[in-house]
Amino acid sequence: MSIDILKARADTPGCETQLHFNNAGASLSPNPVLETVIAHLRREAEIGGYEAAAEAEARLEHFYPAAAGLVGGNPNEIAFIENATRAWDMAFYSIDWQPGDQILTAHAEYASNYIAYLHMAQRRGVEVITVPNDNAGQISIDALEARINERTKLIAITHIPTNGGLVNPAAAVGKVAKAHDVLFLLDACQAVGQIPIDVEAIGCDMLSATGRKYIRGPRGTGFLWVRESLIKDLDPPMLDLHAARWTGPDSYEVREDARRFENWESFVAGRLGLATAIDYALDLGMDAIRDRIYALGSQLREGLDALPGVTVRDLGSERCGIVTFTADGHEPAAIKEEFATQRINVSASRRPSTLLDMTERQLDAVVRSSVHYYNTEDEIDRLVEAVKSL
């Protein structure tokens, strides 16, 4: 199955005005998503927010099977949450942490996640252990297994880190977690929508995702998947009248499905838009999306590798559509600003976002150029020429 690139670009208004290589930040939404969100906001203005939500109830409920289908779960395991960080937080802070519990994580872990580990280390006395990389620059499975002991409570890694094309071997991590009966939390923020995800094949217990990146949904949307058999063992860090039911003056009952991690108030138009974006991706096929993105990413790396003074900084034996590089004599932030004047969107990933990894590699920042399937080979060539012209 191949993607009709001309149709995909015709569905994407932003393709007409710039070269968009900041898809790992926020991708360009297709017209169906745009129309869904705008139509619902207009309906709220016409008849009222509560009334518009009631009118759209069936379509709002469709989000749950749509998201479940995207990651291979079931609808009861899905919670709609406003972003991937909060989705990840709701899972992490629901665990019953005790002094001495151990967290194993990867070297290229994202700042928000690592700060949460340190937060829990200070509050509850848990131990945070960073597993070293293997020779390819991805988490070492042998080192991971060697560090597991009776105190290991959680393995938590980022599937695709923010600062490069690395794809961590999540399924291999899942096998280790299952063999030792350890919880496995996967930050799939930059993976979902870019590559096929099957939570059963990966073997994770919890997974967080965002709408704004490769799914092509609205900002302010995301979701959490939690394995059904685990839900009842997780105590959400906060509850409201949606996550739980007030049963008496001194009692309440928490929902039995993953919606115990939700809030009653949420971005209704955004949930509709995210469901539309998921349907759009599934219609194209996740295998086809991955193949197209990987091919464009490979073309970009080859083009950059050929330029003197330019160094591609991606690690891993499997590399995705996120391509990072540095150019001698040019600060990444300055490159980003210069490209913006040419209507080329890239981003600069700085050391604090992945502190351990960037410090070890003696990098202060890298230019992050992230492709999507609606980019073209010609756009890749134009980006390489822009780098060359520096």
Domains annotated for the chain, with CATH where assigned, are 5-29+285-388 (3.90.1150.10), 33-283 (3.40.640.10)
The two tokens of residue 284 are 């194209």
Q: How far apart are CA 31 and CA 37, in angstroms?
A: 10
Q: Does the structure show a pLDDT above 90 at 1? A: no
Confidence at residue 128, expressed as pLDDT on a 0 to 100 scale:
98
The two tokens of residue 182 are 């350890």
Confidence at residue 271, expressed as pLDDT on a 0 to 100 scale:
98
The two tokens of residue 281 are 């991706």
The two tokens of residue 185 are 């939390």
Nearest C-alpha neighbor of 277 from the set 29, 55, 104: 29
- Model confidence band, residue 81 (pLDDT cutoffs 50, 70, 90): very high
Confidence at residue 351, expressed as pLDDT on a 0 to 100 scale:
97
pLDDT by residue (tens digit) across 209-225?
999 999 999 999 999 99
- Model confidence band, residue 100 (pLDDT cutoffs 50, 70, 90): very high
Confidence at residue 242, expressed as pLDDT on a 0 to 100 scale:
97
Q: Is this prediction's pTM over 0.85?
A: yes
Q: How far apart are CA 44 and CA 50, in angstroms?
A: 8
Q: Does the structure show a pLDDT above 90 at 250? A: yes
Mean of per-residue pLDDT scores for the chain: 98
Question: What's the whole-number mean pLDDT along residues 240-262?
Answer: 97
- Model confidence band, residue 18 (pLDDT cutoffs 50, 70, 90): very high
Confidence at residue 174, expressed as pLDDT on a 0 to 100 scale:
98
Confidence at residue 15, expressed as pLDDT on a 0 to 100 scale:
97
Q: Does the structure show a pLDDT above 90 at 353? A: yes
Confidence at residue 39, expressed as pLDDT on a 0 to 100 scale:
98
Q: How far apart are CA 335 and CA 349, in angstroms?
A: 12
Q: What proportion of the chain, given as a percentage, has pLDDT over 70?
A: 100
Question: What's the whole-number mean pLDDT along residues 152-163?
Answer: 98
Confidence at residue 352, expressed as pLDDT on a 0 to 100 scale:
97
Q: State the burial class of residue 272 (Cβ atoms within 10 Å of its Cβ: 0-12, 13-18, 19+).
A: buried
Confidence at residue 140, expressed as pLDDT on a 0 to 100 scale:
98
Strands 344-345, 78-81: parallel, antiparallel or unpaired by DSSP?
Answer: unpaired
Q: What proportion of the chain, given as a percentage, has pLDDT over 90?
A: 99
pLDDT by residue (tens digit) across 160-192?
999 999 999 999 999 999 999 999 999 999 999
Q: How far apart are CA 219 and CA 273, in angstroms?
A: 10
Residue ranges in the chain assigned as alpha helix (H): 5-10, 31-47, 49-55, 57-71, 84-92, 111-124, 141-147, 170-179, 199-202, 228-231, 268-284, 286-305, 332-341, 355-360, 377-388
Query: Which is it for the CA torsion 349, 350, 356, 360, positive or negative?
Result: positive
Q: Does the structure show a pLDDT above 90 at 331? A: yes
- Model confidence band, residue 269 (pLDDT cutoffs 50, 70, 90): very high
